[in-house]
């Protein structure tokens, strides 16, 4: 039994009883501090707000995450979700989807009547799970890379603005011959088009057109040792009669042979590669790749620039969006695209680059 009545809680929080009732039922407006204070008092006295009566779930396509090396960014997203949920005294469960097809496991989860569901955009069952949640009236938020499905809530990376920021930085440094290496493998191809649009827009703003000679595409699989194909593409660009002075690499899965020596390099990346100015989109796979290769974490010894994704912040905003959707029972999808930041990395230190 609750220790105090709602009226007594209202008196202790110095608010109206109606305000306490509204927060308990997931309605009404209050400042963050007031909401936290009332929520804490409700929790202490055994009241469960409407939003907390059923669990939240984060659905993970476990086989894909393991094979694609996505563990690190998933953990950072979960850290952000937990941070936001702690403010509301909410909890969530991570559910690893292992079965194929996933529908049987998804049905069991939805039978628990979750308050809301997070689904990573890389999940192979994404569309199926979103449709099942919509049919069951369960709010869902897509979280991760950009989504091709605008019918459901999403907090995703803004690939366009990230690419635009990186290429604009190169232009501001005086580069006019800027190459691009595109990654069209698997799901990455979806985001590649948006990043290429950002590259194109930045050039257009500087009065430049895309030079097709400076565009290289890579469709290699993730398992190729050292990503030697990316090195070949860069050497091909350098062999042009009018080569680029800078290159934008739109997915750092293909950056390994540009940042780390290949076995044939005798421990040193060729000067022709080091003298080019690169900007790489995101950096998390590099740490993971080296961790796998040598069981030791490090970043490239020379200075490198990355468009870095703040996965924890994306997790926070996804949690806040899902809470809003549950509280307000909105039927209109809300899609938030989060711009990544341009960061300079040297050794283990990283510094934001102010534009």
* Domain identity same for 200 and 347: yes
Which pLDDT belongs to residue 294?
A: 45
Asked whether residue 124 falls in the same domain as residue 242, the answer is no
pLDDT digits (tens, 9 = 90+) for 154-207: 999 999 999 999 999 999 999 999 999 988 755 556 688 899 999 999 999 999
- Alpha carbon distance 87, 148 (integer Å): 31
Beta bridge partners of 305: 344
Mean pLDDT for 24-37 is: 73
Do 35 and 99 share a domain, yes or no? Answer: no
Which of 50-54, 131-135, 216-220, 226-230 is predicted most confidently? Answer: 131-135
Neighbour order of strands in the sheet with 341-346: 215-218, 178-183, 246-249, 277-281, 304-308, 341-346, 349-352
Q: Which residues contact 265 (CB under 8 A, 6 or more apart)?
A: none
Please state, for a pLDDT cut of 90, what percent of the chain lies above it: 39
Q: What is the largest CA-CA distance in the chain?
A: 81
Question: Domain range spanning residue 23?
Answer: 6-47
Residues 148 and 170 in one domain: no
Say yes or no to pLDDT of 346 above 70: no
Cβ neighbours for 286, distance < 8 A, ≥ 6 positions apart: 252, 255, 256, 259, 299, 300
Residues 168 and 299 in one domain: yes
Compute CA distances 163 → 48, 132, 281, 342, whole Å.
Answer: 44, 34, 7, 10
- Tell me if 212 is assigned to some domain: yes
CA torsion sign, 243 to 169 to 211 to 284? positive
Number of structural domains, the chain?
3
Check whether 353 has a pLDDT greater than 80.
Answer: no
Q: For residue 231, what is the DSSP state?
A: H
Q: Quick check: 226 pLDDT over 50?
A: no
Average pLDDT of every residue of the chain: 83
pLDDT value, residue 292: 47
Burial class (CB in 10 A: 0-12, 13-18, 19+), 12: middle
Q: Is there a domain that residue 214 lies in?
A: yes
Using left for φ > 0, alpha for ψ between -120 and 50, and beta otherwise, residue 338 falls in beta
Residues in the chain: 355
Q: For residues 343-348, give the mean pLDDT.
A: 71
| 106 domain-assigned | yes
Nearest to 218 by CA among 256, 163, 171, 261: 256
- Res 220: pLDDT: 53
- What's the confidence (pLDDT) of residue 295? 41
Instruction: Return d(Cα 250, Cα 242) in angstroms, integer.
Output: 22
Q: Are residues 145 and 25 in the same domain?
A: no
Say if CB 280 and CB 255 are below 8 A apart: yes
Give the model's pLDDT for residue 42.
Answer: 80
Do 165 and 291 have their domain in common? Answer: yes
pLDDT for the residue 185: 59
- pLDDT of residue 270 exceeding 80, the answer is yes
Over residues 90-108, the pLDDT tens digits come to: 889 999 998 778 899 999 9
pLDDT digits (tens, 9 = 90+) for 126-162: 999 999 999 988 899 999 988 778 889 999 999 999 9
Quick one: which of 191, 208, 78, 197 has its CA closest to 143?
78
pLDDT at 170: 96
Same domain for 163 and 292, yes or no, is: yes
Domain containing residue 129: CATH number? 3.40.50.2300
The verdict on 178 and 77 lying in the same domain is no
Q: Is 209 left (phi over 0), alpha (psi -120 to 50) or beta?
A: beta
Say yes or no: 201 and 347 in one domain.
yes
Q: Does position 244 have pLDDT exceeding 90, yes or no? A: yes
Q: Domain for residue 140, yes or no? A: yes
Question: pLDDT digits over 283-342, tens only?
Answer: 655 555 544 444 434 445 557 888 989 999 999 999 999 988 887 766 688 999 999 999
Regarding whether 40 and 138 lie in a shared domain, the answer is no
Note whether residue 1 is domain-resident.
Answer: no
Mapped onto helix, strand or coil, the DSSP state of residue 215 is strand
**22 within domain boundaries:** yes
The answer on pLDDT for 250 being more than 60 is yes
| One domain for residues 114 and 150 | yes
């Amino acid at each position: 039994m609750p220790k105090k009545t709602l009226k007594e809680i209202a008196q202790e929080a110095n608010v109206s009883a109606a305000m306490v009732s509204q927060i308990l039922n997931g309605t009404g407006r209050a400042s963050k501090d007031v909401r936290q204070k009332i929520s804490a008092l409700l929790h202490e006295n055994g009241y469960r707000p409407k939003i907390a009566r059923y669990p939240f779930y984060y659905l993970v396509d476990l086989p894909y995450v393991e094979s694609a090396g996505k563990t690190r960014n998933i953990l950072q997203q979960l850290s952000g979700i937990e941070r936001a949920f702690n403010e509301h005294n909410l909890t969530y469960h991570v559910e690893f989807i292992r079965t194929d097809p996933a529908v049987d496991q998804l049905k069991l989860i939805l039978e628990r009547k979750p308050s809301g569901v997070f689904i990573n955009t890389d999940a192979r069952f994404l569309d199926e799970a979103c449709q099942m949640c919509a049919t069951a009236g369960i709010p869902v938020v897509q979280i991760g890379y950009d989504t091709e499905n605008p019918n459901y809530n999403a907090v995703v990376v803004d690939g366009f603005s990230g690419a635009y920021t990186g290429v604009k930085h190169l232009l501001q440094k005086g580069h006019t011959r800027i190459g691009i290496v595109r990654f069209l493998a698997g799901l990455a191809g979806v985001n590649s088009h948006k990043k290429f649009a950002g590259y194109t827009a930045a050039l257009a703003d500087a009065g430049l057109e895309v030079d097709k000679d400076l565009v290289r595409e890579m469709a290699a699989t993730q398992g190729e040792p050292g990503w030697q194909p990316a090195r070949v593409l860069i050497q091909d660009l350098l062999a042009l009669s009018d080569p680029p002075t800078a290159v934008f690499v739109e997915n750092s899965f293909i950056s390994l042979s540009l940042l780390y020596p290949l076995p044939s390099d005798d421990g040193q990346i060729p000067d022709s590669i080091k003298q080019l100015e690169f900007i790489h989109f995101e950096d998390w796979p590099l740490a993971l790749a080296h961790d796998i290769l040598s069981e030791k974490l490090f970043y490239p010894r020379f200075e490198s620039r990355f468009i870095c994704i703040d996965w924890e912040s994306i997790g926070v905003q996804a949690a806040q969006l899902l809470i809003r959707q549950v509280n307000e029972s909105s039927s209109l999808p809300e899609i938030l695209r989060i711009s990544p930041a341009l960061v300079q990395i040297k050794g283990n230190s990283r510094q934001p680059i102010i534009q």
